[in-house]
Every structure is written in C-alpha cells, then in structure tokens.
Chains A and B, each alone.
Chain A
C-alpha cells in the first residue's frame, strides 16, 4: 500500500511537470505579445523592447521555462504582467471563495444525488425512476451558464430572494452553489442508482428480507451502507470536474474566486496568472484523482492496487 502511494505520488509530480511544460509552451507560442499589451498601442519599439527585457521575454524559451520551474519550486508563481503583484498572493486571496463554493456545491450534489438515486433504485422501472433518470440526463446536458442565468432570472430578478451576484453573505452562496449542485447531482444520481441496484441484488439483502426486516430497514440500513461507497470515490473525481467548470459560474455570478481571476487574466493575456490558475487547478485534479484511486480499494476490496 505505502509503496503504491509513493509511486502514485511520483506519477502525480511527473504529470504536474508535464502540465507546466505544455501550458508554458502553448501560452508562449501565442501570437499576442504581452509586452505590447502592457505598453499599449502607442508605445515606441524601444519601450516595448525595454519591457521585454524587464520581463525576461527576450531570453530563449527553454531558459525562460527553466527560470519558471526554479521559481515554482520556491513557491514563486511569477508576477502578473498587468496587476503588478505576485501571482501566488493573487491566487491565495482568491482560492478561499472557490473552495467554499466547491464545498457547498458538492454537499448539494451529494444530498440531491444520493436521495434521487435511492428513490430511483427502489422504484426501478416505474414512472418515478424514469422521471429521475430523465432529470439526470438533463443535468449532464445543460450547460452551466444556462442554468446560472435561469437561476438569476427566477430567484434574483423576478422573486428578488437572492442577490444578483457578488460575494460576502450566506445569501450570495445560494444561487451559484445550487447551480453547480443541481447539475452535478445528475451524475451522482445515476451512479447511486446503479450501485444500489447492484447491492439490492446481493444475497445478503435477500437474507435480510427473509429474516423479515422491513423494506425501509433493508434499503437504509443494509443496502445503503455498501451502495454509498462508490459515491465516496466519486467525490475525488468531482473535484476535477469542478475545477474545470468554475470559470463559467464564477464569471456569471461575479464570484471572486480563481475562476474569475483566470477569466479576467485570459481577457488581458496575463500569462503568469493563466499559468498559475491552470497549475493550481491541475494540482486539485491530480489530488482528486489520487484520492479517488486510494479510496476505491478501501471501498471495494476486489479492486487491487496496481500499475
């Protein structure tokens, strides 16, 4: 087990190194020149050359990449071209809101997903089951921005129950967290349903029923305990999905997290910030996958740790 963990950790580090490499080169072969961007349209060639030298943009790409890596190891993500501050401090100031949003969203996903999954499995083949499955399909087929706008329209503009965007009070959490939670719950619901169906087919469930346990006890005491395990591993993968999609929801709800930071940086070609956020997201994704891989065997002893 511990050898496996060490190997997976090493693998994760290599993957992250690959991520830095690809992001660096993708973003540096781009046609937009950051020096031009900073200097403005009317700048003289000398000014631009000066800025390039200041930022180290005149050095060979591999040298720049090497400097970037060395700095990363010192916890230095570079300086924003436009905001003139350290990327690491920008990210630290923005990561909190994103994490809180993630925690609330995942909690909502779990509550909705697990309950509809159980209901669907118990009512298998009936109208309720079909309706729930259709809902879960709509959940994976609806883009986040559309549900975001719908939530804003209904609950902020028409009913005025919640603020239209921003951050600070508990009310601000409701709309973005539910947007993410409702969409994500479709996925959890489907996994929960199929896991419950698997478990309900097992011999020990039949035994429990034969012993005369009532249906409620069979479902919630005997079946749920085992059926819920795949869900636990899914949370790890879900962190990755969340980090991928956070840009959209944060920009619609004016949520001051790293997604919004990335979106603002993309619009201004502020490469150090884009790279920093990409890297932080990649770290979250890799850790999430690692978590899922490590939990799976605990959850189901038939899965052996290998590779």
Chain B
C-alpha cells in the first residue's frame, strides 16, 4: 500500500489530485475551526445598500451571498456535504455493485444472466432524468439524495466486477481451492474478492467523481440538498439570479466542484495505470 502511494506520488497529476483531495477533506473535517464565520449567519453589513451581495473584500474574503452570508464559510461547509454524499452514496453503490457483480459472475447460469439483464435495463434508463424525478418526488434530504445517486450508480461497478469475476474464477488457483473443498463463501470472499480489490478501488475512486457531479447537478436544479444546508450545487442554485452582477457566487462553487471531481478522476486514472498495467494509456 505504501508502495502504491509512493508510485502515485511520482506522477505529477496524481500528486496534484491527492493534494487537492487532502485540502478539501481537511476543510470539510475542520470546517468549524477554519471557517471565519457561521455559514448560516446573515450579516447586517453583509449586503450592499441596494440589497445585493458584496464582492470579495478583506472583511468577507470571497464576498457574501444573496442573504448576506459569508461565501467562504459556506464553501467550507459545503465541502462537508459534497464529500459526505460522495462517500456515502458511492459506498452504497460500490457495495451493491460489487455484491451483485460477484454473485452474478460466480454463479453464472440463470442468476448471473438475470442480474446482468437487470443491469442492461438500468443502463437503458436516462439516469439523470430518473435521479431528478426520484429526488423531487421524495422530499429531498441529504440521505435521500445519497440513496438516489447510489441507485443510479451501482450498475457500472456491477458490470466491471462481473467480467473480472468470470475471468478470475476460471484461473487454476480457484479450481484448486474448490477441489480442496473450500466453501462457496470462502472462495468468494477469501480468494476472489482480494483479486478484485484493485479494480474496485479504481472504480470506487472514479465513482466519487461521478457522485460529486450528480449531487451538484441535483442541488443546482433545486431537488438535491436543501438550503440552508450549504452544498456547492445549491449555493449556485440559490444565487443564480445574481450570476451577471455577482459572478463569483456562481463560479467559485463551480471551481470547487470541478476541482474535486477532476481530482478524483485523475487519481482514479492514475490508480488504474498503476494497478492494471494492461489498461495503461487507454481511456
């Protein structure tokens, strides 16, 4: 593991990605200590005399939003929402996807093809449309949003794990374990799963990027995380009316979203290169 980290740190882009991820994670964890103000407090002097948001100044580092709240503090607390949903939703998706892919790949036959046909079905859904419809129907909360995203995102991982499981279970060492009388459960979790971990790690990393983007999009449409809980997506949603007069309110959270998603994509890609040499240099 430490060897893997060392190899990743030799790559410029991966190092850059790791630094950004650590910075944002640090901001999320220590939010109450590093944010200059309470993210929900509406300041009397936080709006101009005409009632519009204030531009960045030494008082409010990144300016204020439409309600006179400090944007910098909201962005720091927004990191919590993005990461929390990213990890929660992606964790559920990875769990479901791995379990179904593993079972389908190992059992094959009817069970296997039933699971795979179901993933075909899920692939035919316009995922974003489905997520928006579901999120707006169930009154959105952080947890529901995470669940909706997980429902849409497990498919890809299930398919990858399925293909890998099939190719690994045809290898001799699995045959040998079976002939030694190992139980199905033991083969699955003690022998197959460890070989799948690199693949799962890659897809889990890439999946966080997808999840962060989906959360941001749902929140931007107003069907994701509900204000006043700050999320980078809903900061843009709340302030979009000001995008021509106070563009920083839209573009700073936008940059944060792109930075986080980009970092997880770059890291996932570097992991794939390191862990799976056959995929090197491919898309």
Contacts and interface: CB of A to CB of B under 8 A. Distances in A.
Partners in one complex: yes
Interface of A: 11, 14-16, 18-19, 22-23, 26-27, 30-32, 134, 137-138, 140-146, 149-150, 152-153, 157, 187, 190-191, 193-194, 197, 240, 243-245, 247-248, 251, 262-263, 266-267, 269, 274, 277-278, 281-282, 285-286, 289
Nearest to B260: A141
Given A143-B254, A248-B217, A285-B125, 13 more contacts: A15-B117, A19-B124, A31-B137, A138-B258, A153-B244, A190-B283, A194-B281, A240-B124, A243-B129, A247-B128, A262-B129, A278-B129, A281-B126
Interface in B224-268: 236, 240, 243-244, 247, 250-251, 254, 257-258, 261-262, 265-266
Contact of B124 (A15, A140, A193): A15
Given A137-B265, A141-B265, A153-B247, A19 B121 contact: yes
Contacts of A149: 236, 240, 243, 250-251, 254
Contacts of A19: 121, 124-125
Contact of B125 (A14, A32, A141, A282): A282
A251 B223 CA distance: 14
Contacts of B265: 137, 140-141
Nearest to A277: B129
Contact of A285 (B123, B132, B133): B123
B174 interface: no
Contacts, number: 136
**A-B pairs with lowest CB-CB distance, top 7:** A190-B283, A281-B126, A141-B262, A141-B261, A146-B254, A30-B137, A18-B121
A22 B133 CA distance: 13
Contacts of B282: 194
Interface string B24-42: 0000000000000000000
B138 A30 contact: yes
A282 B262 contact: no
Given A143-B217, A266-B133, A267-B136, A150 B126 contact: no
Among A27, A149, A240, the most chain B Cβ lie within 10 Å of the Cβ of: A149
B175 interface: no
B19 interface: no
B130 interface: yes
A244 B133 contact: no
Contacts of B243: 149, 152-153, 157
Given A144-B217, A149-B243, A191-B283, A278 B126 contact: yes
Contacts of B216: 143, 145
Contacts of B8: none
A229 B117 CA distance: 28
B69 to A, nearest CB: 20
B269 interface: yes
Nearest to B206: A140
7 contacts: A22-B121, A32-B137, A153-B243, A193-B283, A194-B283, A278-B126, A289-B124
A140 B210 CA distance: 9
B103 interface: no
B130 A278 contact: yes
Nearest to A248: B217
Among B124, B251, B281, the most chain A Cβ lie within 10 Å of the Cβ of: B124
B127 interface: yes
Nearest to B116: A307
A153 to B, nearest CB: 6
Contacts of A140: 209, 265
A297 to B, nearest CB: 19
A142 B240 CA distance: 17
B2 to A, nearest CB: 26
B67 interface: no
Given A143-B213, A144-B217, A15 B121 contact: yes
B124 to A, nearest CB: 5
B258 A145 contact: no
A266 B132 contact: yes
Contacts of A157: 243-244
B127 A145 contact: no
Contacts of A11: 120
A30 B127 CA distance: 18
A26 B137 CA distance: 10
Among B121, B251, B281, the most chain A Cβ lie within 10 Å of the Cβ of: B121
A36 to B, nearest CB: 14
B6 to A, nearest CB: 22
B251 A150 contact: yes
A121 to B, nearest CB: 10
A191 B282 CA distance: 8
Contacts of B217: 143-145, 248
Contacts of A289: 123-124
A143 B257 contact: yes
Contacts of A245: 128
Contacts of A27: 133, 137
Contacts of A193: 283
Nearest to A152: B243
A269 B251 CA distance: 31
A262 B130 CA distance: 10
Contacts of A243: 126, 129
A296 to B, nearest CB: 16
Contact of A244 (B117, B128, B138): B128
